[in-house]
Amino acid sequence: MAISKFNYNSFNVTPVASKALAFNSDADGFTTASGSSMILIKTLTASSSATLSFVNGSSDVVLDDTYPIYKFEFINIHPSATSYFQVNFRDGSTAYDATKTSTAFGAIHTEGDDSPSLAYVGGSDLAQGTGVQRLTTGELNSGNADDSLSGHLHLFNPSSTTFVKHFMSTVNYSNNSPASENSYIAGYCNVTAAIDAVQFSMSSGNIDAGIIKLYGIADS
């Protein structure tokens, strides 16, 4: 069987314009892919604070249909007492008690490289609960001055009156083992009313120090 020789010169290719991925940087130095932008809305700094609250329409806070996604960034959260870092949502009433269902996973790895693990943590999940939602699967240690928590929480379409309001959180914190702990929390507020406020606190004592930043993420 004869093999035909391919004539490269007779093979025409029409070039297609290449698309470059552009990036936008906001005033705070965060960069997002072109087609979306992350806008800093509010920064709260803890100082022996019982709670840190972001309320739509109060103190320049926007938490409505202006953005489809909101992001809370946690920077060096330190508790006054060994306790869990937690959140709750308000759905138009005066109380932070929106009904929530969630899942929780925790990963841990000690500085001594002992028995790393990843497991589902039942004590940090909710099933149609109105109480606080833990954002840590273990307690933050208050004994060491340099122990702290950093991470973020995304809240999707909080102003919807049609769909549930999904939230997803990832945080990393150091404990007294000493060890690195990661907590992965995801769930939804099962309410028809819009979520108009978000409140962060510790399960015991105050948020001794740390910063929480609220960003709005736009589609374009």
Residue 35: the pLDDT is: 56
Q: What is the pLDDT of residues 33-67, one digit of tens each?
A: 445 699 999 999 999 999 999 999 999 999 999 99
CATH class of 38-218: mainly beta
Both tokens of 181, joined, read 């702990």
Nearest-CA neighbor of 199 among 100, 68, 88?
Answer: 88
Domains of the chain, by residue range, sit at 38-218
Nearest-CA neighbor of 40 among 172, 215, 218?
Answer: 215
What is the rounded distance in angstroms from the CA atom of residue 19 to the CA atom of residue 87? 41
Give exposure, 78-87, as e/b (b: 16+ Cβ within 10 Å). bbbebbbbbb
Q: What is the pLDDT of residues 80-98, one digit of tens each?
A: 999 999 999 999 999 999 9
Q: Looking at the predicted structure, is the pLDDT value of residue 112 above 70?
A: yes
The percentage of residues in the chain with a pLDDT greater than 70, rounded to a whole number, is 83
Its pTM surpasses 0.95? no
Q: What is the pLDDT of residues 113-171, one digit of tens each?
A: 988 999 999 999 999 999 999 999 999 988 888 889 999 999 999 999 999 999 999 99
